[in-house]
Amino acid sequence: MRADLDEANLGVSSVHIAVSADSQASAIETSRILGTDTAVVPIPWLVDGFDERALASHDGVRAFAGRLNEAARELAGAGIRLGYHNRHFEWARLPDGAHAFDVLWDLLDPEVLAEVDVCWAAVAGPRTRPRFWSALENAP
């Protein structure tokens, strides 16, 4: 793939990765080969031990955010930024009425990037009134 990218004179701005429970060596190697400093988790089940159900409770969101924060710190040591790509289920309400999306971003380290998928945000809908929609409404 690297040779094809070079031949086409193309760069890679980011790569979607899986997060291992023990080491991010594979994500680091993939990012280095492709020449990007940004790696993004596209779905919860690419984080060892998690799936979308992790975002259905405060404990699940807390554990998921903790794993992403750990991975982000390891990747940062290699000069790579970690991001998270949302789906629609992050905007589900937790048992106390909070949106999982808001709780997740409150728990993630500021260094973790948001790769916001506006299609999935639209599927979740403005009726959920998450922080994301409020920010869009107030954008210049």
Q: Between these two residues, 36 and 120, which has the higher pLDDT value?
A: 36
**pTM of the full predicted structure?**
0.87
Whole-angstrom Cα distance, residue 22 to residue 48?
9
Q: What angle do CA 7, 41, 6 make, to 5 degrees?
A: 5
DSSP 38: E
pLDDT digits (tens, 9 = 90+) for 57-98: 999 999 999 999 999 999 999 999 999 998 888 888 899 988
pLDDT digits (tens, 9 = 90+) for 116-132: 887 887 777 765 555 55
For residue 49, name the pLDDT band (cuts at 50, 70, 90).
very high
**Percentage above 90 pLDDT, the chain:** 62
Closest CA relative to residue 28, chosen from 2, 110, 37: 37
Q: 44, 64 in Cβ contact below 8 A?
A: yes
